[in-house]
Structure 1
């Protein structure tokens, strides 16, 4: 039995794209009655799209946060200026160790280069030991600090030929400065990659970011080599070029971090959001908080003209009880006796500083709550009723505040702060004795 219908028309469409929102029709295949193919778009556009996909994450732009594009633009520009300056500083460094001179020895130059790298490796380990746990909580600030230290290291390489007697000291200090950059930049980049990833695609974002850096490196090296050749033998032109590119590099870095709207709560963002909620009853979005956030180090931010007072600087989370004075220890024991065994933290105040003693079995949720309780305590102006008022606020408004934070797009599963290394344990019983 023949089931063919001469009146029917069968067509098949071809679509291309890495996400449902970005699908594009590329061809239509029709059978009526002969086979015909009608292509949508030129081959040039298809090839161009494939080339573009090599530098952006799969599913772009829906697979990344809205602040991804402006950040990457400024980050690529600052990277470009870095690679151009690298050619100038490397040229000066190679000249200083004797490259191109007959009197220079291979073993001498090799030893100097080895000593320079060894100093950088040791510096990276020490920096990780002292600041490793603080990089996540202040990703914006440390990214700026990392690039500033990189600028300082390049400056020392450029200066080193001017002081032959102190050449090795200057070069090692420059390597030490850049070692901080490697640790801080790598760690903060990992935190930012997790922020950008909306579809568990952090690895893809990191890979595409590597492709973008490769292109910026190639362009920067080419321009840097041309600039090094043009300015060769003219110290004034070298210094003007280097300083101009350095100023642009610092500006591009500042603009890059200002574009970020991080949704994790660190001490500073907690302080800004809480104060606004207490004053208005409304919760700020991550985008609004990012505009009010200080991205420069604390000692620089203190010069800012912004009116907001950051109360998180008055909170010490995870206080070490053995560092307390005798009178403070007696007060701590009284606090522990007045609270039940179920309390996961204690608050003490000394010289306008709110100290948080965290219990041994406290969870991330408990630490999160303890920090906000300390912030409320620091916010209350009346010292006499400070603890009672803060406790009353926590009972009435804390849960509502947390729910509004979640609805505004904030992550409230944990506080992004340095690790709480010091904890305490207390047991309340009728047999506790009073200490004189």
Structure 2
């Protein structure tokens, strides 16, 4: 009896399972799958009752936007994509006009279609020299990808403009074409090098490859559309030089405006000098840390090296010989703060900071906070060293909370991208490598505004001792 009941229960479970179904979706459509009463898999195509317009829109999104959009990307991706499409459209149309002009200057009279085909050949030559020169500036592009992206398109339009103007000086055809391709070669390297940091800022679910692939698909699509528009313009309005001189500047203006709005929409979340200063300034003024999306429209893209007074007016990456002109300053700093990976020199209107080669984004944040606190007018009258000691102690009190908030707001603190600024390396002496080359014993320092005995620097403290050698 028990055996019979067990068989009936098993049959009921199987029968229940046979009625289960699931739906699989893909780019080609949706399929409903289930098992029939005999345990065989049955697959049916789910009829799509959506309106035709909705089908087209969703098909476009599937092909040109990352999977899971808009929930799989960070804020601003749609704005970035819209202006990126407009940028590629105007750039492609402008390239047709410039190529046609170059061939006119060379004595040819090509059709617009021929100009489009030959444009691929004219990218060689001087363009390679431009690529080689620009490739040496990769570290600067990591630090300021937005600024270099704008610079890349400015160079591209400069090169294109020289090509458009070449028929006016046919005797200088080689010079115009060479300089134009040289500028465009630099533009190609800068544009490609800054593409990945910008895409990375939108990645939200480890989907960087998907973002990159869909972004390039959009670029290709609108490049083709732009080439078609350029051919049409070259056949009509721009068939004369006067037409080119009117339309080309308009396309260039549209191109540069698009790339400006495109990069402004990107919430880059790495630390560089400008973003670090803005984070510190906001924290000191409001007590909160801004997100990458909060800062994206506040960044200065054309002149990013500005100093921010509220963050201590820090200038970073100066040569060591300019930061430390007196060896005793370095000795005093290293004796007081042997664990810090930055060096600060206070001046009247700004602070100069130099990082060690192994310094991370956290070290840069520590240094910026010290510089900002050192600029407090309440410390006027103290010696430079006393000011830095007071500022360092204040930094130590707020830094744990500040750092946790920085990370929680989405900033990457594992590295600091300062471009090609100078950094301090370890020094070697008599075959032994020391992290800090200069030390000396200090007498106790009493701070007028900080009278607690705990705030005195003792000569017997381990922090004042010479460091252990590192092999």
> Could you tell me how far apart the structure 1 residues matched to 2:103 and 2:47 are?
55
Once superposed, what is the RMSD of the aligned Cα atoms?
Answer: 3.7
Secondary structure of the corresponding residue to residue 326 of structure 2: helix
Counterpart Cα distance in 1 of 2:375 and 2:183 = 37
Q: How much has 1:142 moved relative to structure 2?
A: 1.3
Question: Which aligned pairs between 1:417-436 and structure 2 lie closer than 5 A?
Answer: 417-419=418-420, 421-424=422-425, 425-428=436-439
Alpha-carbon shift at residue 32 of structure 1 (Å)? 7.7
Rounded to whole Å, the distance in 2 between the matches of 1:337 and 1:415 is 21
d(CA) in 2 for partners of 1:230, 1:180: 32
Pairwise mapping of residues 36-75 of structure 1 onto structure 2 (< 5 A)? 37=44, 39-42=46-49, 52-75=61-84
Give the match for residue 235 of structure 1.
241
Equivalent residue number for residue 278 of structure 1: 284
The match for 2:105 is: 96
Aligned mates of 1:363, 1:238 — CA distance in 2? 51
Q: Is the 8 A contact 1:341 1:428 kept in 2?
A: no
Distance 1:174 1:210, change over 3 A: same
- Tell me which residue corresponds to 2:454: none
Q: TM-score, normalised by structure 2?
A: 0.74
Q: Secondary structure at the match of 1:426?
A: coil
Unaligned 5+ segments in structure 2 are 111-117, 426-435, 443-463, 465-471
Aligned pair 1:339/2:336, yes or no?
yes
Is 1:296 matched up with 2:302? yes
Change (3 A) 1:121 1:381: farther
Conserved in 1, the CA contact under 8 Å of 2:202 and 2:267? no
> How far is 1:375 from its partner?
4.5
Match of 1:104 in 2: none
Looking at structure 2, the residues matched to 264 and 298 of structure 1 have their Cα atoms a distance apart, in angstroms, of 15
Checking the alignment, whether the CA contact within 8 Å between 2:199 and 2:211 is kept in structure 1 is: yes
Contact 2:102 2:173 in 1 (8 A): no
Point out the structure with max Rg over C-alpha.
2
> CA offset at residue 50 of structure 1?
5.5
- Paired residue total: 406
CA distance in 2, matches of 1:13, 1:361: 53
> How far is 1:162 from its partner?
0.6
TM superposition shift of 1:273: 1.8
1:197 to 1:38, Cα distance in 2 relative to 1, 3 A: closer
- Whole-Å Cα distance in 1 between the matches of residues 420 and 23 of structure 2? 52
Equivalent residue for 2:209? 203
Say whether 1:329 aligns with 2:326.
yes
| 1:95 to 1:179, Cα distance in 2 relative to 1, 3 A | same
The alpha-carbon distance between structure 1 residues 329 and 429, as it changes in their structure 2 partners (threshold 3 A), is closer
| Matches of 1:254 and 1:177, distance apart in 2 | 19
Pick closer, same or farther for the CA change 1:375–1:151 going to 2, 3 Å.
Answer: farther
1:118 maps to 2:129 = no
Determine if contact 1:153/1:178 at 8 Å carries over to the other structure.
yes
CA deviations over 1:239-277 (Å, ceiling 9, x no partner): 222122112112212211221222222211221221121
TM norm structure 1: 0.80
